[in-house]
Amino acid sequence: MNTPIGIAHLTLLRLSPPELVTTAAEAGYDFVGIRVKAVTEGEHQYPMQPGSPMSRETLRRLDDTGLTVRDIEFLTLRPDTGPDDWQPALEAGAALGASTFSVVGVDDDPARLTDTLARLTADGAAYGIRPTLEPISYQPVSRVADAAAIARATGAAVLLDALHIQRGGSSLDDVRALEPELVPCIQLCDAPSAVPQTLELPAELPLGMKADGSVLQVEARVQREVVGEGGLPLAELLAAVPAATPISVEVPHARLQARLSATEFATYNLRAVQALLAREGTHV
């Protein structure tokens, strides 16, 4: 059974969506995730509205390469988040053929957050796009079980990320407890098993990243490790999700990216995931 492998935009955020498609195709990926909505203050907003030159060029390169867009990103669900925040992203995603929309819960009122996500899920259904709520270790929704409860209540899904599962205090039993339909994709990277005490910031920070971020934020944004080069229980994690669950490589690794071209870096990550799957007896 083949496991589709894609690359998340955060892995190579300096690339525009068309450039990411070309790079992913050259490296041998099956799909890409596209950031159609800037996440942090100061981050570049790619002009991906339907019909825009960049959207058309992305579609052309998708057609030329045979790659698909599985997910779009990224929306932070705050107390005041509403349709004006997600409608343009849904329209951009639908034009690309996306099926999921990555979101994170930063509202510390669970009832209000659930209501917001339910509204987004209902609006997304009209575009064939389902929100995936990602538990993130330094946000109010940080644990898999909490994200799953909200997803079940709203019709959304859960986006599992190997780093945030470890750093957010979730267990593999929490992952095993998820219904298969709640897990459309899993994001893989590696990292030390324990939280680093300090992390050195790269000389050039990613777009929109501030120098005063927490250790967890710095690690997640610029210091993840390539699969197989850290201490996360990745084989066990893959065994805890349904067979052939699509894998999205999310490995922002500033030091390595500074030494390799975009295609070299993407290829290096893909080969690492393929090696992990081969060791576990999963066909790729």
pLDDT at 246: 98
182-205 average pLDDT score = 80
- CATH number given to 5-279: 3.20.20.150
pTM as predicted: 0.92
Q: Which residue has the higher pLDDT, 81 or 279?
A: 81
pLDDT tens across 228-279, in order?
A: 999 999 999 999 999 999 999 999 998 899 999 999 999 999 999 999 999 8
pLDDT at 212: 46
Chain centre distance of CA 265? 17
pLDDT at 208: 47
Q: What is the DSSP letter of 12?
A: G
pLDDT at 283: 46
140-168 average pLDDT score = 97
Instruction: Please state, in angstroms and rounded to a whole number, the distance separating the CA atoms of residues 102 and 129.
Output: 10
pLDDT tens across 36-71, in order?
A: 998 877 788 899 999 999 999 999 999 999 999 999
pLDDT at 202: 57
pLDDT at 201: 58
122-141 average pLDDT score = 97
Checking if the pLDDT of 104 tops 50, the result is yes
Q: Which residue has the higher pLDDT, 1 or 270?
A: 270
Model confidence band, residue 280 (pLDDT cutoffs 50, 70, 90): confident
Least-confidence region, from 105-109, 208-212, 237-241: 208-212
pLDDT at 273: 98
pLDDT at 275: 97
pLDDT at 184: 97
Checking if the pLDDT of 213 tops 60, the result is no
Contact, 46 vs 54, CB < 8 A? yes
Locate all alpha helices (DSSP H) within the chain, ordered by sequence.
17-27, 53-65, 83-96, 110-125, 144-154, 162-167, 172-176, 215-222, 234-240, 254-257, 262-279
Tokens representing 225? 């490790």
| Locus of tokens 């959207």 | 55
Instruction: Please state, in angstroms and rounded to a whole number, the distance separating the CA atoms of residues 276 and 216.
Output: 25
Share of the chain above pLDDT 70, in %: 93
